[in-house]
Amino acid sequence: MPRVPTYDNFQTSISQAPRAQFQAPSGPTGDAIAANNLSQTGQALSQAGGAMAKMALDAAAQANQVRVDEALNQLKERQLHLTYDKADGFQGLRGRSALDRPEGKSLEDEFAGKLSEDAARVAASLGNDEQRRLFTMHANGMVSSFRGQAMAHESTQFKEYHSSVAESTVATAQREIALRYDNPDAVSAAVSRISGNVYELARLQ
């Protein structure tokens, strides 16, 4: 009868399971994190330092401007004094007094020179070069404007003085005609002077 085959030797072998592979999550290392923190801190400090530096510069600029404004006020007071003071101002000078100055200078040269000397003294009292630079820039304009005012006054006084002399010449010639009516040559010369000065008066007007 047929025989059923049998297996008497059972053998088993343990197969190795697939090895699981694990990778650490990728990301910045500790050194990179520290470096990044330092960089951010440095940027923040730099920004703060820049803001503080700007504040310091603004404060310095403001302090300079206040000092310059004070100095300009001093110079303005001198300008007003040299313009309107009864004893020292050029506005009080009339006629020949405005034209024939003691030192032989023109009115504008004399008074603009005085204000320039005052400006130099005020500039020397300032605390730093920036203050002196700002002050001088404005002071030069003030002196120039002041010179123009003195020149205009001198021109006005010249016209008034010229008119006064012409009027005086006419009055003298008329008196001469009245006194020397019997001298034709004298009368003719007086009439000629009158005509010339009347013309000058009309031109000045």
| CA dihedral sign, ordered 40, 46, 51, 55 | positive
Distance between CA atoms of 60 and 129, rounded to whole angstroms?
Answer: 13
Q: Torsion over CA of 134, 137, 138 and 141, rounded to 10 degrees?
A: 180
Interval 75-133: pLDDT, tens: 999 999 999 999 999 999 999 999 999 888 999 999 999 999 999 999 999 989 999 99
Q: DSSP for 29-90?
A: -HHHHHHHHHHHHHHHHHHHHHHHHHHHHHHHHHHHHHHHHHHHHHHHHHHHHHHH-TTT-G
Provide the pLDDT for residue 15: 53
Interval 136-182: pLDDT, tens: 999 999 999 999 999 999 999 989 888 888 888 989 989 988 998 89
- HSE-CB for 31 with a 13 A CA cutoff: 0
Residue 23 pLDDT level (bands cut at 50, 70, 90): low
193 compared with 23, residue with greater pLDDT: 193
| CA dihedral sign, ordered 122, 124, 128, 133 | positive
